[in-house]
Chains A and B, each alone.
Chain A
Amino acid sequence: MSTPLISLRGVTKTYGSGQAAFQALRGVSFDIAAGEFVAVMGPSGSGKSTVMNILGCLDVPSSGEYVFEGEQVERLDRTQRALLRRHCLGFVFQGFNLLARTTALENVELPLLYRGLPLAERHAQARAALALVGLTGWEHHTPAELSGGQQQRVAIARAIVTQPTLLLADEPTGNLDSERSVEIMQLLTDLNRAHGITVLMVTHEPDMAAWASRTLRFADGLVSHDSAREAAP
């Protein structure tokens, strides 16, 4: 097997300190190869979001090692991590985190703006991304004018508009009905197959996890089950 896209070794994360300290991750290790489509499952509070935040370079581990494309992430400074987010990562937040009073189009084009793309290209790509998530015609609506499901899809469009190497999605179908959920799964599968984007997706629903090629199961801040390890004898 070639070098993995992602490699976590003994990653821990402790929130707070002293009496109030809480260890959300207690030594997580796994590899993910480029082009995989991985579902992350586990009961709530098991550390799924925490590990996604670390993988997305939004947070830093308390100890352990995170290697992304051969780059040791702990050794990068703030600017380098920001550039990694800008050029390689797409993140769909559990709580969307769209800019308020900002149209869907402007929300989606924002990552392209930070990449320094000219206006025409930004708009074309943002419209295309919105079309992919089925929001054609909703470009000029602000989050307040969109339903939870639509906001979720704007958030997905914003994460995929840059064609990232790795797409991290924290419960991307949590607010969608099953029909929409299937569409999103179809979309993620397409992105994964046709564009070679590696996808990590947190989900509670086994139906959704079934779309993935591999399942990581979390419990109490540890990986309790990895379908890839099971398959390999």
Chain B
Amino acid sequence: MFWNALLLALREIRRNLLRASLTVLGIVIGVAAVITMVTLGNGATALITAQVASLGSNIVIVRPGQRMSPGQPAGWAPAFKEEDADAILDNVLAVREVAASAQRGSTVSYMTESTFTPVIGTLPNYLDVGSWKLAEGRFFHEGEQRAGRAVCVLGESVRAALFARGSPLGEKVRFRGVACEVIGVLAPKGQSALGQDQDDMLLMPLKSYQRRVAGRRSRQDVGTLLLAVREGQSTERVVREVADLMRERRGIAPNEADNFSVFDTRQISDALSSTTRVLTTLLGAVAAVSLLVGGIGIMNIMLVSVTERTREIGTRLAIGALEREVLMQFLVEAVALSSFGGLLGIALALVASFALTNLLHLPFVLDLQIMLLAFLVSAGIGVLFGFVPARRAARLDPIEALRHE
């Protein structure tokens, strides 16, 4: 009986190729859209999560100037001094280390190649506090910092710009009249969540920077202070205490606003994850609409063909088909079309989301549960709307089904 039903179902599909392909198309659209959207959403979320992680946890960032949110440019404000860094380390007990840094955009060249990049003077603890890793070579040590040696560590983008081939280690790069030996290259972090190339920089000891790179007037200035908070200590408290300390040191009156900003990475990740939430919701809504459109397409086709199919059922019943044989045929037909459409949709979704994630530089994160759900919902609609009208027709007396208009 099953083989007969399969034979009859396949014949019916072959005979109504247009109807069958429209049904399949509806399912393909639904399944492919949902899976692609969710994969993109997952990719974006994974990317942002990874970027937040690359900032390191337990980090508090202190910058001169007031900014409403991370990413907005600061207005002018007096810079910090190295003593500010020492004061934080001495007064805020929960802070383990302070990586002070100062930077100046410079054209860096090697042989005939050159690139414009921030040259950053900082301390040996920058590597650890900023959660950086080395791709090759080493970072500068305390001795080199104190002696103000002309050594530097390249970000990946700078290395790529200057050293297309060959190792940069031991070579000398030039900027602002300084010849500086490359002793290490950082492992790449890629773009920041805000779209900046984090690998576009050159690091050197702060002392060397102050002596050779910084302008005469800003010799003692430092820009950003990265604070590493001790394990288990609240970063919020550190933010409060640092803010109080800085107000005091910068002589800000109680009714004046801060002329610096202090924030922790949690605030950044909170801001970003609320963005991803919106994004995911949006993608989900688009996907749900596609699923709905696909579903309505299937319903339409099935309902339009009900008259013809009711007569077909009447004919089959009249020449001796049993109700259950007719039902089996329609069920097999609906399941075959729906699962074929579902599989095709999954295949299309895989191709599309792979291509799109590549294009958008997002990680390719598959969600099997969503794939299954999309498949089941679309195929369910297909089976339901293929099968339910058939069941109604198969319950009629043959003559009623034949007379159907």
Contacts and interface: CB of A to CB of B under 8 A. Distances in A.
B308 interface: yes
Given A91-B318, A97-B318, A99-B315, A113 B4 contact: yes
B320 A101 contact: no
Interface stretch (A76-84, A171-179, A207-215): A76-84
Contact of B319 (A78, A79, A91, A106): A91
B8 A82 contact: no
Given A82-B322, A82-B323, A101 B15 contact: yes
A116 B15 contact: no
A58 B398 contact: yes
A53 B399 contact: yes
Interface string B307-337: 0100110111111111101000000000000
Contact of B320 (A60, A86, A99): A86
Contacts of A79: 322-323
Nearest to A49: B399
Interface in A50-91: 53, 56, 58-60, 78-79, 82-83, 85-87, 89, 91
A97 B314 contact: yes
A100 interface: yes
A128 to B, nearest CB: 18
Interface in B360-377: none
A162 B397 CA distance: 22
B320 A97 contact: no
B106 to A, nearest CB: 77
A59 B397 CA distance: 6
Nearest to A115: B320
Contacts of A114: 4, 316, 319-322, 325
A86 B398 CA distance: 13
A85 B402 contact: no
Contact of A93 (B11, B323, B402): B402
Contact of A110 (B16, B311, B316): B316
A11 B112 CA distance: 108
Contacts of A83: 320, 322
Nearest to B315: A97
B312 A82 contact: no
A153 interface: no
Contacts of B11: 102, 106
Nearest to A102: B15
A158 B320 CA distance: 12
A111 interface: yes
Interface string A156-179: 001000100000000000000000
Interface centre among A87, A91, A110 (most CB of B within 10 A): A110
B318 A58 contact: yes
Contacts of B398: 58-59, 85
A102 B397 CA distance: 23
15 contacts: A58-B397, A58-B399, A78-B323, A79-B323, A85-B319, A97-B315, A97-B318, A100-B308, A100-B312, A101-B16, A102-B11, A102-B15, A114-B4, A114-B319, A116-B4
**Nearest 3 A/B pairs, CB to CB:** A86-B320, A58-B399, A59-B399
Interface of A: 53, 56, 58-60, 78-79, 82-83, 85-87, 89, 91, 93, 97-102, 106, 110-111, 113-116, 158, 162
Given A78-B323, A82-B317, A97-B318, 8 more contacts: A56-B318, A59-B399, A79-B323, A86-B321, A99-B315, A106-B11, A111-B320, A114-B4
